[in-house]
Amino acid sequence: MNSPKHPLAEVFGYPIADQGSEARRYREKRLCPFNNKVPNCTKDKAKDPLGVCSVYEGNDIAITCPIRFREGWIIADDAADFFFPSQARWTTLTEVRLNDKYGKSAGNIDVILAAYDKSGKIYDFGALEVQAVYISGNVRNPFEHYMENPAKNKNMDWRNEPNYPRPDYLSSSRKRLAPQLIFKGGILNAWGKKTAVALNKGFFETLPKLKEVGKDKADIAWLVYDIKAPAQSAHALHARQHARIHATFTVQGR
């Protein structure tokens, strides 16, 4: 595969070269196929959404929208396999506020998975954090250019344009992921609750090497995913492998 001449891998859930009727409908209506809280894409601006789900990094693809990880709720299945016994009944809640011991907000947990018994009583829960990749440069300009005429601009050459957008893994980890794991993860760990982190393969490979332990001894699972280079479908998210399991002390300094 030749390196793409533009940064856009998926727009409104579909590869930009996909000119099928379903892909056109999602672009025209600005819809999200990945279980957003509403049918439409709401990234950046609800009235003028930045519908870029993922971008190219060479021949690989980096996921830039956290909602992209919700395809088929694969991430919830994988997290539940880590949190609970195999026969557990569970459900999910999204954007759950977490308070510290002073009652002040420590931020929101992306997804809470709660296990319940036959009478509906919750007996356990775990926290799933979803981390997409920040972008350096300007991704809205190529997006808007593409949307002017998707059929014509699907093979656009953006290489000589200023502020060419690229994944910024360093900022994603230092400014977002690490502080969240230290702050929110510290509270959850004190409660004896497990955490899972969903992120894409390229991002995971930039992190420091983490000590692996057995699943039964781990407090945190790294759910590592990638996107198969564009098929003519929105449904291309796959686990790179099943949950990579690591010990929390590697990120919490215990």
> Is the predicted pLDDT of residue 60 greater than 60, yes or no?
yes
Tell me if 69 sits within 8 A of 197, measured CB to CB: no
User: Which of 137-146, 184-193, 205-214, 224-233 has maximum average pLDDT?
Assistant: 137-146
Q: What is the pLDDT of residue 67?
A: 96
> Is the predicted pLDDT of residue 251 greater than 70, yes or no?
no
**Quick one: pLDDT band at residue 236, thresholds 50, 70, 90?**
low
What percentage of the chain reaches a pLDDT higher than 90? 70
Secondary structure (3-state) at 37: coil
What percentage of the chain reaches a pLDDT higher than 70? 89
Q: What is the pLDDT of residue 66?
A: 95
Nearest to 126 by CA among 77, 87, 62: 77
Q: 10 Å Cβ neighbour count for 64?
A: 25
Going along the chain, which residue ranges are E strands?
Answer: 8-11, 14-15, 52-57, 60-63, 89-99, 105-116, 122-130, 134-136, 166-168, 195-200, 220-227, 237-239, 244-246
Enumerate the β-bridge partners of residue 20.
none
Average pLDDT value for residue range 188-196: 92
> Is the predicted pLDDT of residue 91 greater than 50, yes or no?
yes
**Quick one: pLDDT band at residue 214, thresholds 50, 70, 90?**
confident
Q: What is the pLDDT of residue 144?
A: 97
The helix (run of H) or strand (run of E) holding residue 80 is: helix 74-83
**Quick one: pLDDT band at residue 25, thresholds 50, 70, 90?**
very high
